[in-house]
Amino acid sequence: MDYLARYNEWREKAVEDAKIAEELVSVKDDKDAIYDRFYTTLKFGTAGLRGVLGAGTNRMNIYVVRQATQGLANYIKNHIGTGAVAITHDSRINSSLFMNEAARVLAANGLKVYITTELQPTPVLSYLVRHLGCVAGIMVTASHNPAKYNGYKVYGSDGCQMTDVAAGIVYDEIQKLDMFDDIMLCDFDEAIRSGSIEYVADSVYDSYVAEVEKRQVNAGVCKGSDLNVVYTPLNGAGNKLVRRVLADIGVENLHIVKEQEMPDGNFTTCPFPNPELKEALQKGLELCGEVKADLLLATDPDSDRVSIAVRRKDGTYRLYTGNEIGAMLTEYILSSRKALGNLPEKPVVVKTIVTTKIVKAICDKYGCEMRDCLTGFKYIGEIILGLEKNGEEDRFVFGFEESCGYLSGSYVRDKDAVVASQLICEMAAYYKKQNKSLVDIIEGLYEEYGYYLNTTLDFYFDGATGMEKMSKIMTGLRDQGPAEIAGEKVVHVADYLKSESTDLLTGAVEHIDLPKSNVLAYTTESGNCAIVRPSGTEPKIKIYITAIAKSLDAAGALTEKIAADMKGYLN
């Protein structure tokens, strides 16, 4: 069926949602607009669905959500049999609607469904799946994307995001379905009355909070520290639980950014609610200046990621990268637990391949095993699962990825900004009692281990041709990648799609024992590195740069050279 035929079918059948019907009429004379909405379907990948809200097969709407959920239901019935599914959502536009529509489909298929009475962080969904013994979970979110986006992430029974294999089977099931005629639906209110859809009890959230608070390293250290904190949930799902946990552990001086306190899917004061971006932190920084806060915390809309800014001695604020926060937390957790005598005999820290290499040096100092995995927190979750199967889950000390995602403990299998906020405040209070700020701590790490400057560059390829262009760029790099970067010879290339690691000096090729992934890594003679990875959820290519030097200024200059060279391959 071509795109115009799809459009006409939607004009006839997509009448239940009035806004969608109106949008279809509004573009009837605009072939480009019709094409963009119908030239393809949102692909159900490893992270589920993500796309712009609106009418069409290439948009997020109730019809696409229903079809994806029917595919998931068929997968469960064919490969698992029966069971329960947990669903929650963040603050985005239509998030609660999409949760309810997914619940209607699952209940109509004879599956028990647990939903939440209000928005919840993504890690809570991971917790619900495990705590309630579910066979799957759905989180309605588009993470840190702009307001026009929404999405739908699917989790397995282990609380991790669905595996590639399972996601592929669900995708095949979805492809078999007519979007309008093959979907089973029940009445929502009747399903609530019958118990096939059930709201999660408040006691479950209490148990989640208890698990988070077990992850304190120096319990009680925040009390009496006079730590002054500004917090912004960026109009998302972290507001209640982050504040509850910080109050419980003794953070007594907490200021909330009022403009970003309440749920608001329009993100009016923060058009791109990504806590990695300074623009997203602007309101928080303004409040920090007013109250002279020691620390700014910012969680993203689904509260699985957190970033920080720290007050310098001159009153200005230093923003931290995810790599720097993760390195500080690794040092803090390992050093404190070793001093307390409760570090496991064979501790394990896990990071992704694009995350800072300084972690290896820190782990070596404390006799800790460091494991690398592919980008995506589900791979960290899989390592935790492997330890659990061997009865060794207590060996897992900490895991993180450069995009501000962190986890301590195995109670969930995804990054958790609630526990990360707790640990960051605890760490800041611990060092404040020693008359040190986190500015002192990061500089101390660089002085001890060397300046590892990590920078991430994002290149967007929007529109109908965006994905095609990204594919051509990756093919071109595989055919002829850089021989030199920043004036240094490239001596090592890792192709994670081919599972090959090649030493260009000797010609030796080694197998990469990780799942295949469309990632290319180039390393120079002195250990500088550029890693190229297309996003799995957005039309963009990321380049992760590692520059190692004797000073921060030198590392910054080297980063600019590496960036300039790599940009040339993305035209």
Rounded to whole angstroms, how far apart are CA atoms 353 and 373?
6
Listing from the earlier edge strand, what are the strands of the sheet with 295-299? 253-256, 228-232, 295-299, 306-311, 317-319
Whole-number pLDDT of residue 538: 74
Which helix H or strand E contains 4, and what residues bound it? helix 3-13
pTM exceeds cut of 0.85: yes
pLDDT by residue for the chain (571 residues), tens only, comes to 799 999 999 999 999 999 999 999 999 999 999 999 999 999 887 779 999 999 999 999 999 999 999 999 999 999 999 999 999 999 999 999 999 999 999 999 999 999 999 999 999 999 999 999 999 999 999 999 999 999 999 999 999 999 888 999 999 999 999 999 999 999 999 999 999 999 999 999 999 999 999 999 999 999 999 999 999 999 999 999 999 999 999 999 999 999 999 999 999 999 899 999 999 999 999 999 999 999 999 999 999 999 999 999 999 999 999 999 999 999 999 999 999 999 999 999 999 999 999 999 999 999 999 999 998 899 999 999 999 999 999 999 999 999 999 999 999 999 999 999 999 999 999 999 999 999 999 999 999 988 999 888 999 988 767 888 898 999 999 999 999 999 999 999 999 999 999 999 999 999 998 888 899 999 999 889 999 999 866 789 999 999 999 888 999 999 999 999 999 998 7
Rounded to whole angstroms, how far apart are CA atoms 142 and 149?
6
Give the pairing of strands 488-495 and 520-524: antiparallel
Tokens of 206: 């209490």
Q: Which neighbouring-strand residues pair with 295?
A: 229, 310
Q: Report helix, strand or coil for 178.
A: coil
Sign for the CA dihedral angle at 564, 565, 570, 571 comes to positive
Q: Report helix, strand or coil for 536.
A: coil
Place of tokens 């602007």: 282
Which helix H or strand E contains 484, and what residues bound it? strand 484-485
Report which of 188, 54, 206, 218 is spatially closest to residue 128, judged by C-alpha positions.
Answer: 206
Name the active-site residue from 96, 143, 403, 410. 143
**What phi, psi does 540 have (nearest 5°)?**
-150, 155
Tokens of 549: 């030097």
Whole-number pLDDT of residue 536: 66
Sign for the CA dihedral angle at 562, 568, 569, 571 comes to positive
SS3 assignment for 278-334: HHHHHHHHHHHHHHCCCEEEEECCCCCCEEEEEECCCCCEEECCHHHHHHHHHHHHH
Whole-number pLDDT of residue 399: 98
Sign for the CA dihedral angle at 397, 542, 161, 208 comes to positive
CA distances (Å), origin 393, targets 304, 375, 387, 390, 397: 21, 21, 5, 8, 9
Whole-number pLDDT of residue 126: 98
Rounded to whole angstroms, how far apart are CA atoms 518 and 477?
11
- DSSP character at residue 393: G
Whole-number pLDDT of residue 467: 82
Whole-number pLDDT of residue 42: 93
| Angle (CA) 533 539 543, round 5° | 30
CB 267, CB 332: distance < 8 Å: no
Rounded to whole angstroms, how far apart are CA atoms 379 and 175?
26
Give the pairing of strands 540-549 and 529-534: antiparallel
Tokens of 209: 């909070």
Tokens of 144: 């840190």
CB 426, CB 333: distance < 8 Å: no
Q: Report helix, strand or coil for 136.
A: strand
* 411 CB-near residues (< 8 Å, 6+ apart): 127, 130, 208, 211, 212, 214
Q: Is 143 a catalytic residue?
A: yes
**What phi, psi does 28 have (nearest 5°)?**
-60, -25
